[in-house]
């Protein structure tokens, strides 16, 4: 039974999604999918199965049409309200904590390379007019996806048009943030978390992150604390704990194997860190999660 825990969890989510999306606008091909009108009932039902951060298996562009949401994305906490636009990158850890009763969004999931490969994972507020422009592109894309035979020559450019719209809106948002006195430190904080998401397993020395960002270790600590309220070591430990929670919840690997996979000194060090940060031992967390 233990060998099927990960597959069972993913299978449960897939089955639940398929049952919930019956009668809802949904389209999928091998390289991408479109989920229209995703509301609170769908999200909360899935979240009952995903009680720890879930690792995304594809890139996603999300247009929040209505309501509010509270979530963390690779250690960065967001409280957003409509209208807003988000890019969630492949392999990032997403933990949705709550959404308002009136929540509604459209989701484009894609696996193929696109103009967004160079864009940073982020969430931006947009105007009502910008929301209308993005929604029009999504609805036009949705309309052509239902055509037979499938119009590849139309759908591809429409997807790229949507991605270009996102890139332009991010540039506009960045110009506004640069005028803020906190803009530079916020940018360093976000860049640090992005680097951390990619390298936390093999790089835990602050010098690596400071050198990569072309700043001093002192300024890295100052910027991260000013923007996030904690020093860099806190986020390094939280990255390790989030990954450990995911592995304990969805794989049969032992605590010792997880410790080795995360590149930690030894299983005892891992257990002490895990209990200090969560109040539970790895074994206690796994037992509690599987109740």
In sequence order, what are the residues at sequence separation of 6 or more whose Cβ sits closer than 8 angstroms to the Cβ of residue 201?
243, 261, 262, 263
Residues 16, 151 within the same domain: yes
Residues 196, 130 within the same domain: no
How many domains is the chain partitioned into structurally? 2
pTM of the model: 0.73
Q: Are 231 and 225 in contact (CB under 8 A)?
A: yes
Q: Which among 154, 178, 202 is the end of a domain?
A: 178
Residues 173, 187 within the same domain: no
Tokens representing 131?
A: 């929301």
Per-residue pLDDT of the chain (291 residues; tens, 9 = 90+): 333 444 444 555 555 556 555 556 777 777 788 888 888 877 766 666 556 677 777 888 999 999 999 888 877 788 889 999 998 888 787 888 888 999 999 988 887 666 676 667 778 899 999 999 999 999 999 988 878 888 888 988 898 899 889 988 988 877 766 555 557 888 899 889 888 888 888 888 999 999 999 999 999 999 999 988 899 999 999 888 888 988 888 788 899 999 998 888 889 999 999 999 889 999 999 888 766
Residues 159, 209 within the same domain: no
CATH at residue 90: 2.60.120.10
Q: Which among 178, 212, 240 is the end of a domain?
A: 178
Residue position matching structure tokens 């010098």:
207
Residues 213, 164 within the same domain: no
Residue 61: φ, ψ to 5°? -110, 125
Residues 83, 155 within the same domain: yes
16: left (phi over 0), alpha (psi -120 to 50) or beta: alpha
Residues 31, 136 within the same domain: yes
Residues 174, 30 within the same domain: yes
Residues 166, 233 within the same domain: no
CATH at residue 280: 1.10.10.60
Residues 59, 171 within the same domain: yes
Q: Which among 162, 178, 194 is the end of a domain?
A: 178
Residues 28, 152 within the same domain: yes
Q: Annotate 40-74 with b (16+ C-beta within 10 A) or e (fewer).
A: bebbeebbeebebbbebebbbbbbbbebbbebbbb
Residues 85, 11 within the same domain: yes
> Domain span at residue 138?
2-178
């Amino acid at each position: 039974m233990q060998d099927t825990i990960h597959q069972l969890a993913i299978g449960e989510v897939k089955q639940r999604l398929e049952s919930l999306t019956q009668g809802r606008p949904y389209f999928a091909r091998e390289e991408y999918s479109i989920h229209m009108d995703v509301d609170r009932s769908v999200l909360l039902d899935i979240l009952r199965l995903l009680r720890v951060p879930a690792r995304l298996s594809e890139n996603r562009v999300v247009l929040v049409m209505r309501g509010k949401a509270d979530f963390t994305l690779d250690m960065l906490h967001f409280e957003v309200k409509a209208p807003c636009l988000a890019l969630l990158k492949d392999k990032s850890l997403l933990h949705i904590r709550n959404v308002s009763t009136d929540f509604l969004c459209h989701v484009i999931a894609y696996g193929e390379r696109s103009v967004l490969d160079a864009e940073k994972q982020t969430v931006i507020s947009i105007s009502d007019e910008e929301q209308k422009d993005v929604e029009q592109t999504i609805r036009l894309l949705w309309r052509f996806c239902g055509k037979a035979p499938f119009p590849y020559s139309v759908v591809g450019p429409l997807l790229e048009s949507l991605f270009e719209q996102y890139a332009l809106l991010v540039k506009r948002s960045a110009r506004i943030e640069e005028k803020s006195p906190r803009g530079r430190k916020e940018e360093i904080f976000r860049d640090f978390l992005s680097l951390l998401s990619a390298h936390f397993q093999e790089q835990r020395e602050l010098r690596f992150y400071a050198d990569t960002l072309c700043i001093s270790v002192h300024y890295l600590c100052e910027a991260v604390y000013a923007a996030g309220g904690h020093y860099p070591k806190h986020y390094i430990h939280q990255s390790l704990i989030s990954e450990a929670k995911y592995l304990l919840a969805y794989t049969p690997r032992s605590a010792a194997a997880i410790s080795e996979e995360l590149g930690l000194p030894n299983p005892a060090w891992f257990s002490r860190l895990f209990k200090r940060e969560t109040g539970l031992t790895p074994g206690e967390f796994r037992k509690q999660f599987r109740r």
